[in-house]
Chain A
Amino acid sequence: MGDTWSVSGAKKRLARLPLATRNALFGLMLIAPSMLFFLVLVAYPLLQTVWISLHSMSTITRQGDFVGLANYASLMRSEDFWNAFKNSIIWTSGSLVVQVSLGIAFALILNGALFMRPVARALVLFPYLISTVVAVLIFQWLFNDLYGYLNFALMNLGIVDRPVNWLGKSPNAMISVIAVAGWKHFPFVTLAVLARLQSIPPALYDAARIDGANAWARFWDITLPQLKPVLAAVILLRAIWDFKDFDLIYMFTGGGPRASTETLPLMIYREVFPKLSIGSGAAVAMIMLLIMMVFFWVYARMIDREDTQK
């Protein structure tokens, strides 16, 4: 009876509120589930990472002392951190260049008249679909100094007279791992670019041909400007994904030789696990997040600008 009374009382109190307040409360009620998911899945882990980064903490026990910004200060002084930062930039930009170049080239080929085009379009996805561990094993075998097919082929062709140390020398290791990443991820660029290419009106090319434009001029003056928005989005997304890529480099080179392929995600791993220092690992993760926020900010502004133009 009491419950009924209180529910009806609440209803009466609600009815006395102004309409605008009731609408606002209704709106809040509607977004509450999303807010709850956001708090549990995004805000809580993020705040916990910030909190951990302010501690000198064991990975195993999750206990330690509050050290303020000492982990960050120590990273700023660390030669290893700046080396990993430099490697992350080289890795991200190198992978992007390879992926975008291969992606556009394949998209142009697949957009043209091609024998068994549907099959070719399906096959080009193969590297993207293959699991990273399988891709790494295949390429480790190809690059192997004793049995690798690549060295075998180069020596047979007389290009080199002794096996090339693909993974054990700098900058060979970084070049090799960038090449593998380019091969693995270019189909994503191909897919996005191909979709855009198919929507470019053929009349534009016809008009250009009538005006005497050659293939390069048609690509430069028609295709590329039309691809710009999709390329910008693809480059930003891939930059974010590559910047935080861990598994491919870790399995392929483990960060070596020396620390020549050690990127920031590998540094986080090394801090958190072998050294069992989750606090300093979390500090590296937070710095990475800040860098990626810049990428995200550019991406958000780009989307915003597109919406405004529409």
Chain B
Amino acid sequence: MTFRIARRQLLIGAAATTTMLSAPAILRAQTRQLTMWSTQRSPDQVAAYEAIFAKFADENPGLTVNLQYMGEDDLLPKLAASLAAGAPPDLISHMPPEFVMHLNEQGVLHPVDDVINTVGKDDFYENTTELLYDAERGYFPGLAIVNSTTTGAMWYRKDLADASGWADWSSMLGTVKDTTKGGVFGTIYPFGKTNMGDKLLLQTIWRAGGMVLNPDGSVAFNSPETVAAFDFVKELAEYSPSGSVTYGYSETINGFVEGRAASAPYSGRVLINVQQKNPSLVDAVSVVPYPKSAEGRDVFTGDFQSLVMPVTGEDPEAAKKLALALLRRDNYIHFLHVTPSHNLPNLKSVATSDEYFDNPIMTKYRPEVDTMIEATSKGRSLLKETPEHPVNPAAGAIIGARIMTEAVQDVIVGGVSSQEAVQRGADRIAELLKS
């Protein structure tokens, strides 16, 4: 049997087949997938991100977003690997500001001035814009997407102690001693080699009146104030779970929410976790600013989790569009509301709006939220310890090397004197700054 086909039919058939086979590639070429990394990965936050990105894709035909989650401690290793592989993300959200300026020194971040100016520079809190500005090169390598403090707020059990019990260091020591009983610890003071351990210790040094570096860049870690801070932490550690030497974010919040401690530092995430995991504590928790010594400075370690665009991203304009979408009022409030008061707004227009406070948890805990917002406004970073300090790009390396937490572990676990430990820490910081 012979099968005949006209030449014209053959050509039409071939053209149709070619079109069908190449259709997926053509469609792929017309759709650009942006990759964004974030450290915020609770189920509610994931759902909020997905809803925001679906809206973004509808409003920007041809653009989709692939979201990848990772822990704060994994950001640098994964970024280094992705840069080496030539496939960095287009946008990274919730990066610690110390890492931002450290990366900016390496010249791998795109300025985000366009994004800041489109939103309105004055709408951002000044303590965040002064922190993330490269004065030498004249641009912003990142912007703080939120303005929170995980260590500035200290949660306490109202059924175990009054707010007055946490007024300063001396009353706090008395309260933690009194409340350590019946399987409950007076406090949780995490001093593991984690970001939280370093942030809380840095805050304790500041609240003792000390500093890590002087404004002229010399090391100030070995001051009597740091010694006082270490002595205070050593005393607190006696009323904190013995495993606090390994604790970071999750152990701290879980310990408090599960009712194993009378007090613990953490952000507003405590509120949603208490509702979901331990409703018996819903009316028993409140918050105070983390106590300070009589001689200390009234500052807290801010989180200033930032949004950055790696310079090697394929489509900076599309990345900027995505950044602006995340900061758009409706999307921004939607994301903040899924973990009420955990991430506090860095846009004044949002922070003061009724829309932002229109949330049952925020309404119920309005005094607590106000306390956290107040603490956040006093937030600083190791990048710029006081307004007089220039931005210190080595802050990320000092934190990453865990020099500070290792020094306090020397005292509590190693039995070294505070004087000796701070001196050793100071020497290691000086060595790191030299390299």
A60 with B241, Cβ < 8 A, contacts A274-B397, A274-B401 known: no
Contact with A257, one of B107, B108, B245 (Cβ below 8 angstroms): B245
* Interface SS of B by simple majority: helix
Cβ-closest chain B residue relative to A143 = B243
Within 8 A of B (CB), among A50-87: 56, 58-62, 74
Give Cα distance in the complex from A260 to B194, angstroms: 16
Interface: A258 (CB within 8 A):
yes
A60 contacts B242, C-beta separation under 8 Å:
no
Interface: A263 (CB within 8 A):
no
Within 8 A of A (CB), among B257-295: 260
Q: What's the minimum C-beta distance from A147 to chain B, rounded to whole angstroms?
A: 9
Q: What's the minimum C-beta distance from A165 to chain B, rounded to whole angstroms?
A: 4
Most-contacted residue by chain A among B84, B243, B413 (CB, 10 A): B243
B242 contacts A165, C-beta separation under 8 Å:
yes
Chain A contacts of B103 at CB under 8 A?
A: 60
A257 contacts B409, C-beta separation under 8 Å:
yes
Give Cα distance in the complex from A305 to B285, angstroms: 71
Interface: B410 (CB within 8 A):
yes
Interface: A209 (CB within 8 A):
no
A–B pairs, 24, beta carbons within 8 Å = A59-B76, A60-B80, A61-B107, A144-B243, A146-B243, A163-B242, A165-B242, A167-B243, A168-B245, A170-B413, A254-B193, A254-B194, A254-B246, A256-B192, A256-B245, A256-B406, A258-B406, A270-B401, A272-B77, A273-B400, A274-B399, A274-B401, A275-B435, A280-B435
Q: What's the minimum C-beta distance from B306 to chain A, rounded to whole angstroms?
A: 17
Chain A contacts of B106 at CB under 8 A?
A: 58, 60-61, 276
A145 contacts B193, C-beta separation under 8 Å:
no
Give Cα distance in the complex from A258 to B405, angstroms: 8
A146 contacts B241, C-beta separation under 8 Å:
yes
A258 contacts B397, C-beta separation under 8 Å:
no
Q: What's the minimum C-beta distance from A68 to chain B, rounded to whole angstroms?
A: 15
Interface: A255 (CB within 8 A):
yes
Chain B contacts of A275 at CB under 8 A?
A: 397, 400-401, 432, 435
Binding site for A on B (CB under 8 A): 76-77, 79-80, 83-84, 102-103, 106-108, 192-194, 241-246, 255, 260, 396-397, 399-402, 406, 409-410, 413-414, 432, 435
Give Cα distance in the complex from A105 to B203, angstroms: 52
Contact with A259, one of B102, B260, B406, B435 (Cβ below 8 angstroms): B406
Give Cα distance in the complex from A255 to B402, angstroms: 11
Q: What's the minimum C-beta distance from B257 to chain A, rounded to whole angstroms?
A: 12
Interface: A22 (CB within 8 A):
no
A168 with B242, Cβ < 8 A, contacts A273-B80, A274-B400 known: yes
Give Cα distance in the complex from A163 to B243, angstroms: 10
Chain A contacts of B432 at CB under 8 A?
A: 275
Q: What's the minimum C-beta distance from A305 to chain B, rounded to whole angstroms?
A: 42
Chain A contacts of B402 at CB under 8 A?
A: 270, 274
Give Cα distance in the complex from A251 to B84, angstroms: 24
Give Cα distance in the complex from A146 to B264, angstroms: 15
B242 contacts A62, C-beta separation under 8 Å:
no
Chain A contacts of B84 at CB under 8 A?
A: 62
Q: What's the minimum C-beta distance from A76 to chain B, rounded to whole angstroms?
A: 14
Give Cα distance in the complex from A74 to B255, angstroms: 42
Cβ-closest chain B residue relative to A56 = B435
Contact with B193, one of A169, A256, A276, A277 (Cβ below 8 angstroms): A256
Chain B contacts of A92 at CB under 8 A?
A: none
Cβ-closest chain B residue relative to A61 = B106
B108 contacts A60, C-beta separation under 8 Å:
yes
Query: A258-295 toward B: CB 8 Å interface, digit per residue (1/0)?
Result: 11100000000110111111001000000000000000
A273 contacts B77, C-beta separation under 8 Å:
yes
Interface: A88 (CB within 8 A):
no
Interface: A95 (CB within 8 A):
no
Q: What's the minimum C-beta distance from B385 to chain A, rounded to whole angstroms?
A: 20
Cβ-closest chain A residue relative to B405 = A256
Chain A contacts of B79 at CB under 8 A?
A: 60
Chain B contacts of A269 at CB under 8 A?
A: 77
Give Cα distance in the complex from A280 to B83, angstroms: 20
Q: What's the minimum C-beta distance from B150 to chain A, rounded to whole angstroms?
A: 19
Give Cα distance in the complex from A201 to B373, angstroms: 78
Give Cα distance in the complex from A282 to B402, angstroms: 20
Give Cα distance in the complex from A277 to B76, angstroms: 12
A254 contacts B260, C-beta separation under 8 Å:
no
A168 with B413, Cβ < 8 A, contacts A144-B243, A253-B246, A273-B76 known: yes
Cβ-closest chain B residue relative to A167 = B246
Q: What's the minimum C-beta distance from A208 to chain B, rounded to whole angstroms?
A: 51
What 8 pairs between A and B have smallest CB-CB spacing?
A274-B400, A145-B243, A168-B245, A165-B242, A60-B106, A258-B409, A273-B77, A257-B413
Chain A contacts of B193 at CB under 8 A?
A: 254-256
Chain B contacts of A59 at CB under 8 A?
A: 76, 80
B243 contacts A60, C-beta separation under 8 Å:
no
B76 contacts A258, C-beta separation under 8 Å:
no
A61 contacts B401, C-beta separation under 8 Å:
no
Query: A164-198 toward B: CB 8 Å interface, digit per residue (1/0)?
Result: 01011110000000000000000000000000000
Give Cα distance in the complex from A87 to B241, angstroms: 26
Q: What's the minimum C-beta distance from A113 to chain B, rounded to whole angstroms?
A: 45
Give Cα distance in the complex from A277 to B433, angstroms: 12
Query: A32-65 toward B: CB 8 Å interface, digit per residue (1/0)?
Result: 0000000000000000000000001011111000
User: What 11 additional pairs, Cβ within 8 angstroms, besides A61-B107, A259-B406?
Assistant: A60-B80, A168-B243, A168-B244, A169-B242, A254-B193, A257-B246, A269-B77, A274-B76, A276-B80, A276-B106, A277-B435
Chain B contacts of A167 at CB under 8 A?
A: 243, 245-246
